């Protein structure tokens, strides 16, 4: 007899289905479900649902020395780029019985270190970091702790950790090629912070693409934004327009910077694309709904997150680290670019 509030066990499920309790354990674990016949697994899952049974993850963790949790550290959870990345991570982890623990670590190195230390102390099985700098001392801490780790969206130079990123050089080539095809020759660039691989890589990609077209990039045609933020883009665009006369287009290192360009142009009585064409980078949600809709480089953020989660799970299972996945971006042409006057 079962009393109200008494916990349902794997033995109860096994009894109802008519299988051994070990079969229930295998069927309930996504990592071992393929060891059970499909029809049996379906019956076990149906019985577990009807009885209200869920595995005791704490007990499982004690047996396997795993917590089945993954730490995901983001630099700014309000940035629309990161929810799709997190969605891809979560889809893969949940299918394998893992739960992501998400933290917004901000831009301060000390805070990032504290967040990572606390996650490791809570015995996460691995970390996915979207916060790395090109030269990042926090990664030495992770190496010393022996934690499985994958970088996403940004990379650190010579870190030895696996990473999933977009091809930043190709992305800027797509932007510049598009503007040149429209007839633009005087093209400026607002880069992201150069301590980040995305800021540095997209700047290098911009310079290479301009050079491939035989176009020079005078020093005043490049301004580095203080952050990937709209207000930083507005400030950088104001500087760029003031110091680089004759520009007809701007290729921004991300969409928030591009939206800041919109603000700077309006403040000066200029219009996009009539006076200046603008290209963003990321294709974050809703940039097709601004005025004018933003031409931008589309990055496959959901796939980026999913690939990072797959890499990490393979690493936890014993695969070697240091394997990089580079995703190909695409150009999405909208109304913020046109031929120069």
Largest CA distance in the chain: 85
Residue 160 corresponds to which tokens in the numbers above? 């030895």
- Do domains 68-166+301-329 and 168-299 share one topology? The answer is yes
pLDDT for residue 6: 65
| Pairing assessment for the beta strands 330-332 and 295-298 based on DSSP bridges | antiparallel
223 - beta bridge partners?
Answer: 190
Q: What are phi and psi of 70, to 5 degrees?
A: -125, 130
Extents of the domains making up the chain: 10-55, 68-166+301-329, 168-299
| Residue appearing with tokens 């020093």 | 219
pLDDT for residue 207: 98
Sequence-distant (6+) residues with CB within 8 A of 69 are 98, 99, 100, 101, 122, 123, 124, 125
CA distance 130 to 292: 30
CA distance 99 to 68: 6
Q: Is 234 left (phi over 0), alpha (psi -120 to 50) or beta?
A: alpha
pLDDT for residue 57: 52
- Helices within the chain (DSSP H only): 10-17, 21-28, 38-51, 57-64, 82-95, 109-121, 137-145, 168-182, 197-212, 230-243, 255-267, 301-316
| Pairing assessment for the beta strands 187-191 and 324-327 based on DSSP bridges | unpaired
CA distance 285 to 262: 17
CB atoms within 10 A of CB 181: 11
Q: What are phi and psi of 325, to 5 degrees?
A: -115, 125
Contact between 83 and 95 under an 8 Å Cβ cutoff? The reply is no
Radius of gyration in angstroms for the set of CA atoms belonging to the chain, rounded to a whole number: 25
pLDDT means per 10 residues, the chain with 341 residues, are 61 90 81 83 87 65 70 94 96 92 89 92 94 93 93 94 97 98 98 97 98 97 97 98 96 98 97 98 96 98 97 92 94 98 87
Name the CATH topology of 68-166+301-329.
Rossmann fold (3.40.50)
Name the CATH topology of 168-299.
Rossmann fold (3.40.50)
CA distance 140 to 134: 13
CA distance 33 to 166: 34
pLDDT for residue 109: 81
pLDDT for residue 277: 98
CATH of 10-55, one of 3.30.70, 1.20.120, 1.10.260, 3.30.43: 1.10.260
pLDDT for residue 4: 46
Residue 89 corresponds to which tokens in the numbers above? 């991570």
pLDDT for residue 59: 54
pLDDT for residue 174: 98
From residue 297, alpha-carbon distances to 137, 149, 223, 264, 293 in Å are 31, 28, 19, 21, 13
Contact between 103 and 119 under an 8 Å Cβ cutoff? The reply is yes
């Amino acid at each position: 007899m079962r009393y109200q509030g008494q916990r349902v066990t794997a033995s109860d499920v096994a009894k109802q289905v008519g299988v051994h309790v070990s079969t229930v354990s295998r069927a309930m674990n996504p990592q071992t479900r393929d060891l059970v016949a499909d029809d049996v697994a379906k019956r076990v899952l149906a019985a577990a649902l009807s009885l209200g049974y869920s595995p005791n993850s704490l007990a499982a963790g004690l047996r396997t020395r795993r917590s089945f949790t993954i730490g995901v550290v983001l630099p700014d959870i309000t940035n629309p780029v990161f929810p799709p990345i997190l969605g891809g991570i979560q889809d893969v982890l949940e299918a394998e019985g893992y739960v992501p623990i998400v933290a917004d670590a901000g831009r301060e190195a000390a805070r990032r270190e504290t967040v990572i230390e606390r996650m490791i102390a809570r015995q996460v099985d691995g970390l996915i970091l979207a916060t790395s700098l090109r030269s990042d001392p926090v990664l030495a801490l992770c190496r010393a702790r022996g934690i499985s780790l994958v970088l996403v969206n940004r990379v650190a130079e010579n870190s030895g950790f696996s990473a999933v990123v977009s091809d930043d050089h190709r992305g800027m080539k797509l932007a510049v090629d598009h503007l040149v095809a429209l007839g633009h020759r005087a093209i400026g660039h607002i880069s992201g912070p150069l301590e980040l691989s995305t800021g540095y890589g997209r700047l290098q990609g911009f310079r290479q693409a301009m050079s491939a077209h035989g176009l020079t990039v005078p020093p005043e045609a490049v301004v580095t934004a203080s952050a990937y933020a709209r207000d930083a883009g507005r400030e950088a665009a104001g500087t760029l327009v003031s110091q680089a006369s004759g520009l007809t287009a701007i290729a921004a290192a991300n969409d928030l910077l591009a939206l800041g360009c919109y603000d700077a142009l309006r403040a000066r009585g200029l219009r996009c694309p009539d006076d200046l064409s603008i290209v963003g980078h990321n294709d974050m949600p809703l940039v097709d709904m601004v005025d004018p809709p933003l031409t931008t480089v589309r990055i496959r953020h959901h796939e980026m997150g999913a690939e990072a989660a797959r890499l990490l799970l393979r690493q936890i299972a014993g695969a070697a680290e240091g394997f990089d996945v580079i995703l190909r971006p695409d150009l999405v042409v909208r109304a913020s670019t046109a031929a120069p006057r």
